[in-house]
Structure 1
Amino acid sequence: MKEFRYTVMDPLGMHARPAGIFVKEASSCESSVRLTKGEKSVDAKKIFGVMGLLVKCGDEVTVTVEGPDEAEVVMRLEEFMKNNL
């Protein structure tokens, strides 16, 4: 299992466009991917779960990846967040 934390810097938070792209990236991997904000954790491959977290600018989220391609996936998702959120 690998994970990283990220503080969202986008003034609009994790709105529809980046959330959709994030879900698409997470869905392209074999590993399970979870997105956590505070006490709530969701399947990062489900757009309604990700949008339901209501991630705003300044919120810290944790991405947890577990599975055979976890090392590659965690790097890819972290890079996506740095470039888009």
Structure 2
Amino acid sequence: MKEITVTVVDPVGLHARPATVAVNAASKFKSDIQISYKGKSVNMKSIMGVMSLGIPTQSEITISADGDDEEAALETIKEVLQAQNVIG
């Protein structure tokens, strides 16, 4: 299992548009991918789960992946969130 911890810099936080893009990216991988915020973890392949976390700006989140393609999954998700200007 691999994980990364990043800080949300988008002034609106992790909102619907970038969350949808990130969920779509996560869904392309076989690995189990979780996003954690304030001790609560949800499946990153579920838009409802991700949105239920209500992640505001300047929050530290942890994204973890467990499976055959875990490294590629984390790298892709990180790139997607950076491209959407959600994380620094």
Aligned partners of 1:10 and 1:57 also within 8 Å: yes
Instruction: Look up the match of 2:66.
Output: 66
TM-score by length of 2: 0.92
Number of residues of Structure 1 aligned to a counterpart in Structure 2: 85
| Gap regions ≥5 residues in structure 1 | none
Instruction: Look up the match of 2:24.
Output: 24
Instruction: Look up the match of 2:4.
Output: 4
Tell me the percent identity: 38
Could you say what the CA RMSD is over the residues aligned between the two structures, in angstroms? 0.7
TM-score by length of 1: 0.96
Q: Which runs of 4+ in 1 moved over 2 A?
A: none
| Gap regions ≥5 residues in structure 2 | none
